[in-house]
Structure formats: C-alpha cells, structure tokens
Structure 1
Amino acid sequence: MRNIVVALVALCLLTGTFFIGTATGAGIEDIERITPRELMRKLDRGEQVLIIDVRSSGAYAASTVRLPGDVRIAPDEIIGRVGEIPMGAEIVTYCT
C-alpha cells in the first residue's frame, strides 16, 4: 500500500501535473486528474483530502502561494516521510 503512495507522488514529480490518485490498486491508467476548482468543491463539501505540496525547494521558497492545510514534502524527503501519509487517504499532490 505504501509503495503505491510513493509511486503516485513520484509520478507527479516526473510529469509535473496536478492530479489525484486512488490509494488502492492505482496504476497510471487509474489516476484521475482534477482541476483546482474541483479540489475546492471537494473541500467545500467537507471531503477528507490530503494535499501534498511536492514543489522543489527553490520553487517553494520563491512562491508565496500556500494551500490551506497542505503538507510540504520535498522531493528528496518523500521516501523518508511516507509514514506520515495515512493509509487509505485520498491524496492530491501539486507542483509547478
């Protein structure tokens, strides 16, 4: 299960896209991309979503944009911090 989460986060880093993935059995064909507006609708409905900011350290430092409630996990910290991601969580990763 944790390997799937790592794979999803790594995929975002490789493609530079904004997406959401399923926590079980996810493969590339299972990844659902959502827009910022769709994410806001989920949050407005009270859905539990873990938002992970995976921007590079330079991009993060240069930006004033932060999403409320997001978790910052730098690309070089992903493997070491995978234990912080709740099992079965709906995860949205974003980067620029």
Structure 2
Amino acid sequence: MLSLSHISGLSMFLMGSLSVILNFNHFLNSLLSLELMALSVYLIASEILYLKGDEVFLLFFFVLIVCEGVVGLSLLIAGSYSHFTDYSKEFNSLVC
C-alpha cells in the first residue's frame, strides 16, 4: 500500500516532469524542475531505504543532487555571459 510520502513524491515527480515538458523556454525553469524531480526521488527513496538501514546511500544521493544543481547553475551563468540570455532556444551549438 502506498503511503502519503510515496503519493506526494510521485505527484512531485509528475509535476516536475510536466514542468520540464511545458516550460522549456528558460534554462532556469528547466533547472528548477529537474531539482524538483531529484528531490521527489530522494523523498521516495528516503522512506524505502531508511527502513533497510541504507543511510549512507541517501547521503551520497543527496550529495549528487547538490552537485547536479551546482553544475546546472554554472552552465546557466556561463551561457548567460556568452549569449546574454537564458532562453533555451538561443543555445544552438550548431551555429558558430
């Protein structure tokens, strides 16, 4: 049976994925939606793995979430400096 945290984690994941699909105009919106999806996976995994005693894996996963956010923000800053905007359609790598 699904608990309340599983249902809320699944709904957060679905809202995040829907936000990535529908709001792909700005790079920052996509990053925030990906962070929401990663935190919802952490919420679901924390309840499952905490009962099994795998707290070290949860800490490792949380560190990976933070590193993913830092890399995304650094790419956003680098892209904003080079293209002067954060629109995703402006980051065309085929044009020199």
Q: TM-score under structure 2 normalisation?
A: 0.26
Which has the larger helix fraction? 2
Which has the larger strand fraction? 1
Q: TM-score under structure 1 normalisation?
A: 0.26
1 or 2 for the larger relative contact order (CA 8 Å, sep ≥6)? 1
